[in-house]
Amino acid sequence: MKVIDHINQAKGTLLSFEVLPPLKGKGIGALYKHLDPLMEFKPAFINVTYHRSEHVFKKRADGTFEKVVVRKRPGTESICAAIMNKYNVDTVPHLICGGFGVNETEDALINLHYLGIDNVLVLRGDAAKNETTFEPEPGGHKYAIDLLKQVVNLNSGIYLEEELKDTHKTKFCIGVAGYPEKHFEAPNMETDLMHLKNKVDAGADYIITQMFFDNAKYYAFVDACRAIGITVPIIPGLKPVYTKKQLTVLPKTFHIDLPTDLSNEILRCKTDEDVEQVGAEWLLMQSRDLKKNGVPVLHYYTLGRPQVVANVVKDI
Ligand code: FAD
């Protein structure tokens, strides 16, 4: 079932979770262990992130280095199918522009369609580790909107080989990313919102936000979206803080702020167990407030801490 149908048919706020594919070399059992404590909360859907290949330098026996391509977390599409099969829950694979040509994208979409997956979250992806700015593959998509248009075309039966006749139409429900604190490359919030509106006007069914720790920023973002005519559901993305190190890692990686009250409390903690407790209380406070204000879905980035998220969700 499509994410948008879940939202339209819901009587209250839904739950959803986001997981990473296991590291290459680990079995899928580790992922099931991660999901097991969360499934009792009956999430409407589960997102699975996408991780592009990276170039790394591997030392040869003679001491020289060779550049090799490694993909640390493969399998997004098949993991979605496996989760759907095991837990009977809808899944949302993330699909990115980075590292993909348009033909590979089309093949990936056809595979997802055959697997019975009705949802995709379309993203640009970040710059590869060896690049300073995002570079598309030759002939690949530059922005998420270009990838989105390819999915919209497939939903209309338009494949890359235009001469194909009597084509089958896919029926993907399409999500896109939004940034309550602005995407870090955008020159200003207005421009970023204009690009977001373009994605919605081109066919996105809903928006999921980057994580935020101050609900006021989410509410201001929703107001700003509504003011420029974005009417689709805007799902808040939430993440627990559980280590002191995240005080610097989260702003650096995701270009977001942590409120002073939260950072002060974390700084007072003696151990990471204390930080986990503070982070869980903060997440609970954010979740209750968002639910009270009628958000369509509470979407949790569970990454590495399913039990913290489970405890919070239980208490909402
Ligand atoms: P876009 O919408 O293409 O925007 C990127 C930048 O370009 C923005 O600054 C925008 O304002 C600007 N822009 C857009 N269109 C134009 C245009 N036509 N002309 C000029 N500028 C333009 N990354 C992964 O690799 N894998 C994942 O699984 C993943 N999951 C994510 C899930 C969520 C909910 C979020 C919020 C992010 C996720 N990301 C993931 C990170 C994402 O790929 C990065 O944030 C990336 O830098 C931007 O992706 P986007 O889809 O927002 O890009």
Nearest alpha carbon, ligand 1 atom 47: 126
pLDDT digits (tens, 9 = 90+) for 207-225: 999 999 999 999 999 999 9
Indicate if ligand 1 lies below 6 Å from the C-beta of 183: yes
- How many structural domains compose the chain? 1
The neighbouring-strand residues paired with 18 are 47, 301
Mean pLDDT on 38-67: 92
Answer for the pair 4, 19: CB distance below 8 angstroms, yes or no.
no
Residue type, 53: S
113 lines ligand 1 (CB under 6 A): no
Q: Is the CB of 238 under 6 A from ligand 1?
A: no
Helices (H), 115-214: 144-155, 189-201
Give me the count of residues in the chain: 316
Residue 67 banded pLDDT, cuts 50, 70, 90: confident
Distance of CA 131 to the CA centre of its chain: 22
Mean pLDDT of 261-266: 98
Instruction: Give residue 101 CA to ligand 1 midpoint distance, Å.
Output: 17
Q: What is the pTM of this model?
A: 0.97
H runs (alpha helix) in 202-245: 215-227
- pLDDT at position 55, please? 78
The atom of ligand 1 lying closest to the CA of 210 is 36
141 lines ligand 1 (CB under 6 A): no
CA–CA distance from 98 to each of 88, 120, 167, 200, 217 (Å)? 30, 16, 27, 21, 29
Q: Which atom of ligand 1 is nearest to the CA of 194?
A: 11
Q: Could you tell me if the CB of 125 is within 6 A of ligand 1?
A: yes
Indicate if ligand 1 lies below 6 Å from the C-beta of 186.
Answer: yes
> Contact 157/167 with Cβ under 8 angstroms?
yes
What is the domain-level CATH number for residue 15? 3.20.20.220
195 lines ligand 1 (CB under 6 A): yes
Between the CA of 177 and the centroid of ligand 1 the distance, in Å, is 6
Residue numbers of the domain that contains 291: 3-315
Report the mean per-residue pLDDT for the chain: 96
Q: Whose CA is nearest to atom 52 of ligand 1?
A: 177
pLDDT digits (tens, 9 = 90+) for 87-114: 999 999 999 999 999 999 999 999 999 9
pLDDT of the residue at 129: 83
pLDDT in tens, 274-316: 999 999 999 999 999 999 999 999 999 998 899 999 999 999 9
Determine what percent of the chain is predicted with pLDDT higher than 70: 100
